[in-house]
Amino acid sequence: MTAVPARHRLRRAGIATALALAVVAGVLGVWRPWSPLPSAAPVGAADGAPAALVAPTPLALPEHPTVLVFGDSWTYGSAATVPTEGYAYVLADLLGGETIVDGVRGSGYLKPGIDGPTFGERIAALDPSLAPDLVIVQGSINDREQGEAGYREAVGAAWDTLAATYPEAAVVILGPAPHQLPAAAGTVRIDRDLGELAAARGWWYISPLADGWITEQNYLDVIDVEVGRRHPSTDGHRYLAEKLAAALGELGDAPVTVAGGSETTPEQ
């Protein structure tokens, strides 16, 4: 059964953030403390020429934001006691607003899911009248064995549709989180590709891989390796929601610097 968007209204005051916006000259890179520095310039032009990186625009959410969380089985809430205890639902409480949850198990940009088609087809079917303040696109590790061919093109087409469907919404891309350690080479490649493509659009990218959300020390506390078949447990989903809420909060404080520039940054 295809996942049906679900609303979850809660009480607490939300996030209203403002970001420092830096101008990027030429093809210089944008650095964000929780995402990896791109290993190569993103490809944006039809002729394969490198695309200039764009500084993310300020994120300013209303007091009680409406957030569309779109993704795969992790967004669906797989392995939680009930799906509505998944991270995407818990996030609503942490942001003081509501989440509209659209998760399809097994789905990716190239791979159709158990309950629905690929990301691109699902995004094309979204209801434009939802009018979210923020869209979070999560994952997906489901493309890790699909190979590189056509992947960036599929991501670009899906994101073009998303931007056209919700032109007023802020967009944050949440990269893949490892379901096993060490992370598979395909998962690492997806993380790199998504980070570069998001930077080219001026969209914020949050990398659970680069930020070490799941480590050898906490792996069994986060991931249910038995009944959940390597999906987050109920406690793991809450942990991921807390990490995501904290990362979104950091967007208001994170320095945005031009690579090689002389801007002052916090000590690492």
Query: Could you read off the pLDDT of 12-31 as tens digits, one per residue?
Result: 333 333 333 333 323 223 33
163-173 confidence digits (pLDDT tens): 999 999 999 99
What does the pLDDT average to over 66-94? Answer: 95
Q: How far is CA 257 from CA 24, 29, 33, 38, 138, in A?
A: 8, 8, 10, 14, 25
CB 147 within 8 A of CB 112: no
Q: Please give the pLDDT value at position 251.
A: 79
What are the boundaries of each domain within the chain? 30-258
Other Cβ atoms within 10 Å of 81 Cβ, number: 12
200-258 confidence digits (pLDDT tens): 999 999 999 999 999 999 899 999 888 768 899 999 999 999 999 999 988 765 444 33
16-51 burial, b at 16+ Cβ within 10 Å, e below that, comes to: ebebeebebeeebbbbbebbbebeebbbbeeeeeeb
With 60 as the cut, is the pLDDT of residue 45 above it?
Answer: no
CA distance 135 to 74: 16
Q: Please give the pLDDT value at position 54.
A: 74
Q: Please give the pLDDT value at position 32.
A: 41
What does the pLDDT average to over 149-157? Answer: 97
| Fold (topology level) of 30-258 | Rossmann fold (3.40.50)
Q: Please give the pLDDT value at position 7.
A: 43
Nearest to 75 by CA among 120, 121, 140: 140
Q: Please give the pLDDT value at position 127.
A: 97
Q: Please give the pLDDT value at position 49.
A: 39
